[in-house]
Amino acid sequence: DDLERLADDIRDAETVVAFTGAGISQPSGVPTFRGDDGVWDKFDEGQFTYGRFQRNPEGFWADRIELQQVMFDGEYEPNAAHEALAAMGRDDNLEAILTQNTDGLHGEAATSVREERTDEPSILELHGNSQRVRCIDCGKRMEDDPIFERATNGELPPTCDCGGVYKPDVVLFGEQLPGAVIQRARSLAGESDVFLAIGSSLVVEPAASLPRLAASSGATVGIVNLESTPVDSSADVVVREDVTDVLPKIRDLVEK
């Protein structure tokens, strides 16, 4: 069947690339952006643009605290899908995990298997990491918790010792992805033999173009997502099932 075909291609591949979106973290309790209960139903994307951060950092931070509370409410941990990818590694030809998520869960899943392996796939966080903030003047990075606490207690916007304003270390709307990051993502997609798009609506850039780039370079493209995506017609295999069911199955088939 479809999953067996994917697993065969993964086994025969030199380079497998996994590309993930909010759907892979949904079973961990992190809400998705679009669809039922999506974050963009509760908030307006316009509240989180780079332009607004520059014009009105105080208002931006007040809203960002609310967004962070909705998205990363309490404890959340990697699920079976993150773990299956973390466990695959380069022995199973998985070269890299490219993620649009800023929740850090791929990194946490990798940490939990790190002692057992030396062939971890590289993890590229295309949209940054919400667990950090970065000073826009001196570039210093900090853990998010103490800075969010200061902001919640009324320091709006929170600032660095150098006087610069802290910004969540994520890519905001209207902000370019770092050139080196997007270049590496494109070259990985272009050189992949199997490209798996997992839990993403594939509607924003570069999500929409990376799987198409992989397909046009001859990769087998697999899409794992509950809903249809605009890239389904370019894919070789489309699986509309929960990521926590599909990813462990793929891993087991590859290792059989």
| Chain residues in the site for ligand OAD (CB under 6 A) | 21-23, 26-27, 32-35, 38, 100, 127, 171, 199-201, 204, 207, 225-227, 242-243
Q: How far is the CB of 154 from ligand OAD (least distance, A)?
A: 26
Catalytic site positions? 127
Q: How far is the CB of 171 from ligand OAD (least distance, A)?
A: 5
Alpha carbon distance 129, 105 (integer Å)? 10
For residues 43 and 108, which CB has a smaller minimum distance to ligand OAD in the complex?
43
Q: Please give the residue whose beta carbon sits closest to ligand OAD in the complex.
A: 23
Return the structure tokens found at 106.
């791929």
Q: How far is the CB of 200 from ligand OAD (least distance, A)?
A: 3
Please state at what angle helix 209-216 crosses helix 179-191, rounded to 10 degrees: 40
Alpha carbon distance 56, 62 (integer Å)? 10
For residues 47 and 159, which CB has a smaller minimum distance to ligand OAD in the complex?
47
Say how far residue 242 (Cα) sits from the centre of its chain.
17
The one-letter amino acid at 65: I
For residues 15 and 201, which CB has a smaller minimum distance to ligand OAD in the complex?
201
For residues 93 and 225, which CB has a smaller minimum distance to ligand OAD in the complex?
225
Task: Report which of 93, 109, 105 is spatially closest to residue 15, judged by C-alpha positions.
Answer: 93
Strands 122-125 and 128-135 turn out to be unpaired
Strands annotated E in the chain = 16-20, 94-99, 122-125, 128-135, 141-143, 166-170, 194-198, 220-224, 237-239
How do the residues of the chain divide into helix, strand and coil, expressed in percent and rounded to 5? 45, 20, 35
Q: How far is the CB of 241 from ligand OAD (least distance, A)?
A: 7
For residues 171 and 193, which CB has a smaller minimum distance to ligand OAD in the complex?
171
Alpha carbon distance 229, 208 (integer Å)? 9
Q: How far is the CB of 118 from ligand OAD (least distance, A)?
A: 30
Task: Report which of 214, 196, 172, 219 is spatially closest to residue 46, judged by C-alpha positions.
Answer: 172
Q: How far is the CB of 49 from ligand OAD (least distance, A)?
A: 10
For residues 14 and 241, which CB has a smaller minimum distance to ligand OAD in the complex?
241
Say how far residue 219 (Cα) sits from the centre of its chain.
21
Cis peptide before 158 (omega within 30 of 0): no
